Amino acid sequence: MNEPANDPELDPRIVEGPYPFQSHLGFRMTAWRDGYARFELPLKPELMNRYGIPHGGVHACLLDTVMGYAGSWTGDPDRRQLVMTLSLTTNFLAQATGEILTGTGRRVGGGRSVFYAEGEITDATGTKVATGMGTFRYRKG
């Protein structure tokens, strides 16, 4: 996936949440625009499995987050579009190395009530360590 540059002018109301679970894990939004989202996750011991690598659930959560955000852009921080994950597929490709994971998501299709997204996670060396596909439903209200 080609990544746009960091968004230095992301509105602080967007960057700071609310996304309590992801914030608890340490996620940081670094880009968000129509059809695209990127989050970074500094790795810490609490996120590792007994082999000393990031737990697979961390990968799944990061992919779910970036893909969901990729389809929920409104352009207005005061008008949130919430989405619900209907299906999520995660593919583990390589062991992550380094101290940070970067997840990117792209909306790749859909309609008025459902959208489809693809995502990938790279490690500190740029190695693609996981990919995912998801189906999401827009929530009303």
Share of the chain above pLDDT 90, in %: 76
Is residue 10 pLDDT above 90, yes or no? Answer: no
Looking at the DSSP bridge assignments, the partners of residue 136 are: 85, 115
Question: In whole angstroms, what is the distance from residue 55 CA to residue 126 CA?
Answer: 19
**At 71, is the pLDDT very low, low, confident or very high (cuts 50, 70, 90)?**
very high
Strands 100-110 and 83-92: unpaired
Q: Which domains does the chain have, with CATH numbers?
A: 12-138 (3.10.129.10)
| pLDDT score at 80 | 86
pLDDT tens for each residue of 110-133: 999 999 999 999 999 999 999 999
Q: In the predicted model, is pLDDT for residue 136 greater than 90?
A: yes
Q: Look at the chain and count its residues.
A: 141
**Spatial separation of the C-alpha atoms in residues 129 and 86, rounded to whole Å:** 23
- 75 has a pLDDT exceeding 90: no
pLDDT bin (cut points 50, 70, 90) of residue 41 is: very high
What is the band of 88 on the pLDDT scale with cuts at 50, 70, 90? very high
Reply yes or no on whether the pLDDT at 15 is more than 80.
Answer: no
Q: Quickly state the pLDDT bin for 141 (edges 50, 70, 90).
A: low
Q: Which residues pair with 115 in a beta bridge?
A: 110, 136
**Sign of the torsion formed by the C-alpha atoms of 35, 85, 132 and 46:** positive
Residue 123 burial class via C-beta count within 10 angstroms: exposed 0-12, middle 13-18, buried 19 and up: buried
Residues contacting 61, CB < 8 A, separation 6+: 21, 22, 25
List pLDDT tens digits, range 90-115: 999 999 999 999 999 999 999 999 99
Integer Cα distance of 103 and 59 in angstroms: 9
